[in-house]
């Protein structure tokens, strides 16, 4: 299982002292990067091949607030791989807290060429996405 650790900084919080809702999407992104690196790949590798994986859909469900200096654990996983898209799902926990997520989310990514045209996911990437880290 891949797990990204993130310490909440003051700039991530709002006036109420909780993590601003949009920052969870940054946490999702960081965990996706860690997921790929754990499998020996990177977004940069895809870019060198002339491909990109833009987010085409993103959702988050907030269960309980994270606060300044909390250490968060983000657990990404690939939940679906199609011909030209893939879906990541995420669970965010407070380190040392109960094993119930503070936030859950999902991002859908299209595989596109430099010109922005949908293209088939590379077979090597599909294999890497399913390997255990």
Q: Where are the domains of the chain?
A: 4-130
3-state secondary structure of 28: helix
**In sequence order, what are the residues at sequence separation of 6 or more whose Cβ sits closer than 8 angstroms to the Cβ of residue 60?**
21, 24, 25, 28, 103, 104, 105
The whole-number mean pLDDT for each consecutive block of 10 residues of the chain, a chain of 133 residues, reads 96 95 98 94 92 97 97 97 97 93 98 96 90 67
What's the pLDDT at 133? Answer: 64
Q: CA 125, 7, 75 angle in degrees (round to 5)?
A: 35
72 C-beta neighbours (distance < 10 Å), count: 23
What's the pLDDT at 6? Answer: 97
Mind telling me the catalytic residues?
14
3-state secondary structure of 35: helix
Return the bridge partners of 59, or none. 106
Which CATH number fits the domain 4-130, given the four candidates 3.10.129.10, 3.30.70.20, 3.30.300.30, 3.40.50.2300? Answer: 3.10.129.10
Return the bridge partners of 13, or none. 19
Helix (H) or strand (E) holding 106: strand 103-110
């Amino acid at each position: 299982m891949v797990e990204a650790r993130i310490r909440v900084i003051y700039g991530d919080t709002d006036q109420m002292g909780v993590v601003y809702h949009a920052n969870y999407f940054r946490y999702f992104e960081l965990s996706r990067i860690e997921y790929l690196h754990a499998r020996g790949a990177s977004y940069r590798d895809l870019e060198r091949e002339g491909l990109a994986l833009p987010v085409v859909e993103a959702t988050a469900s907030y269960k309980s607030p994270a606060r300044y200096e909390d250490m968060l654990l983000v657990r990404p996983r690939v939940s679906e791989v199609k011909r030209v898209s893939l879906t990541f799902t995420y669970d965010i926990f407070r380190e040392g807290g109960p094993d119930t997520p503070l936030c859950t989310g999902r991002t859908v990514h299209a595989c596109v060429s430099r010109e922005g045209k949908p293209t088939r996911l590379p077979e090597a990437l599909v294999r890497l996405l399913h390997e255990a880290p």
